[in-house]
Chain A
Amino acid sequence: MSTPPRGVTGNILTSDAAGAARTETAPFGHALVRAAEQDPRIVGLTADLGKYTDIHVFAEKFPARFFQMGMAEQSLVGAACGLARTGCVPFATTYGVFATRRAYDFIAIGAALGRANVKIIAGLPGLTTGYGGTHQAIEDLALMRSIPGLTVIDPCDATETAQATAAIALHDGPVYMRLLRGVVPVTLEPHNKFEIGKARLLLDGTDVAYISTGLMTTRTLEAARILAATGIKAAVLHVSTLKPFDRAAVGALLSRVPRVVTAENHVVTGGLASAVADLAVDERLAIRLKRVGIPDCFCESGSLPYLAERYAMTAAHLVKAAQEILK
């Protein structure tokens, strides 16, 4: 591994937008306002993180439809479930670590078993914060994916965050969505429209298949471009809905391109890589799989470029993973 660049952790508003050609500010907050203008059932809640999860945009526009729950995540999710039972469509925000670690039972029983129409919006997914293990939601997808009936989404960029917000507002059922907040890069084309449960082939190729979720798809697209310059044709399948998992699209790609690199902003167990491996076993597909993501450890705090380098999650690492699997 090359020496990681030395940076500074920065403040809690650190974003992954550095160096991005295009960005949008608070795509979730603005998309929620647009949805709420159409649908009076939509309400918002937060657990003392309104400013840090972009829902303050909604709160300013619809103060009567916004409920501050204080630093109390069980109460946050429980109240959201109660609101849903009266016909409201609640969007509840906090950080992923607090939603999934503190309020797990409330999501599993209140939201999922109860089929409550609740949307849990979870900030700081994976390594998108300079803070360490207390704030980095590195295993949230594994936890949420194992809950029956819960829809689990990890959007890639500002465009998809806005599209997914609109889509889950219309979807009747409990949803856990990871949130990219603040200044968020725009890397996907708007015509490439998000649909719940649909994986999208962003780039076709025959030599190696990248299957990625969340912000890692920005990096798999970059890695595919680097590989193309060396004559290697890489496919990029973007799986932003972890659950329900698009078995048809993933299975079709595995059958056609059996050399596979998965990429996720999450530990490599229990998330996307595991879902791909499960499918390969179920369908008896002989694939070679390399898993790029966070190893089985709590991570350091640090600047985002430092963390990406430290845990081998950059485009360069994805190129290397593809080259190794092609040997």
Chain B
Amino acid sequence: MNELPLTRDPAALRTRAKALRRHVLRMAEIVGQGYVGQGLGIADVLTVIYFSELRTRPAEPGWVDRDRFVLSTGHYAIGLYAALAEAGIIPVAELATYGADGSRLEMSAPETTPGVEMTGGSLGHGLAQSVGMALGLRLQGRDARVFNLLSDGECQEGSTWEAALAGAHHRLDRLIAIIDCNNQQADGAPAKVMGLEPLHEKWAAFGWHTQRVNGNDIPALLAAFTQIRATPGKPHAIVVDTLMGKGVKTFEEREKNHFIRVAPEEWALANRQLEESA
């Protein structure tokens, strides 16, 4: 069975990221609200992971030697489904069922859906399970890597730091944590809810090879992953600063946007802004 072809061409990846964003907008429009801000903000990161880094076989989601993408933040499902559809792991047509009663594309991704490695949503699980996956894959002599996407707010969970200790202690250099800093958690900005900075220094102090890049800058993301391949012996953290709602001006500018409510007449404008965006 064929592996998903990967590319390091920024222009091709930008085109793909825009396709992801179109899916995200369509899904959000159908349910009328939701995590559209997160889905748009993380689209570049997901694009680089799925179309430049992750070894998968779309027709065989359970391939034992696949790289694992573990989504801690279950509510980013809207972005993940868009990536899975673009990768051919789930049908594009199924995206129309996002959040509908009886759909397998629940608002928070369940692991019963193809391509979803773990049920996230209860925050603080993803890194611990990723540590276990990396331990298991190494024990079995597989060279697969484990990518865990977690959020800035999730760094308030003690279990994240328990797992960070374990990743460094066991020298899991095929484990990559991507910490999405969109500066927005349920009750507001982390600086007001529970301060997290300096995140780069915290991960580095825990023994991780750490980088901090603009998560909406595709060449910067590509360079970060190149750096990871050149740095053995430690687990890797990339702190990515992203803009919620990226690509749709009206959503980028919204003040409180953890869970966006959108008036019906706003969708046409949002679609237009996305097509006009760079």
Contact = CB atoms under 8 A, between A and B. Distances in A.
B136 A87 contact: yes
Interface in B93-151: 111, 117-119, 122, 124-125, 127-137, 139-140, 142
B155 interface: no
Given A67-B135, A75-B159, A85 B118 contact: yes
A65 B128 contact: no
Interface residues of B, number: 30
A106 B125 contact: yes
A270 to B, nearest CB: 23
B198 interface: no
B162 A75 contact: yes
A74 B132 CA distance: 12
Interface in A31-69: 43, 64-65, 67, 69
A78 B163 CA distance: 8
A309 interface: no
B66 to A, nearest CB: 11
Contacts of B159: 72, 74-75, 78, 106
A82 to B, nearest CB: 2
B129 A78 contact: yes
A85 B117 contact: yes
A79 interface: yes
A70 interface: yes
Interface stretch (B13-21, B26-34, B165-173): B165-173
Contacts of B194: none
Contacts of B131: 75, 78-79, 82
A84 B132 contact: yes
B122 A114 contact: no
Given A43-B139, A84-B132, A86-B136, A79 B163 contact: yes
Given A79-B129, A81-B132, A87 B163 contact: no
B128 A86 contact: no
A302 interface: no
Nearest to B140: A86
B136 A106 contact: no
Contacts of A81: 118, 128-129, 132
A109 B125 contact: yes
B64 interface: yes
B228 to A, nearest CB: 20
B264 interface: no
27 contacts: A43-B136, A43-B139, A70-B165, A72-B159, A74-B124, A74-B158, A74-B159, A74-B163, A75-B165, A75-B166, A79-B128, A79-B131, A82-B128, A82-B134, A83-B135, A85-B118, A85-B132, A86-B132, A87-B136, A87-B140, A88-B139, A106-B125, A106-B128, A109-B122, A110-B118, A114-B111, A114-B118
Given A78-B159, A85-B136, A110-B129, 5 more contacts: A67-B170, A70-B169, A72-B162, A74-B163, A110-B128
Interface of B: 64, 111, 117-119, 122, 124-125, 127-137, 139-140, 142, 158-159, 162-163, 165-166, 169-170
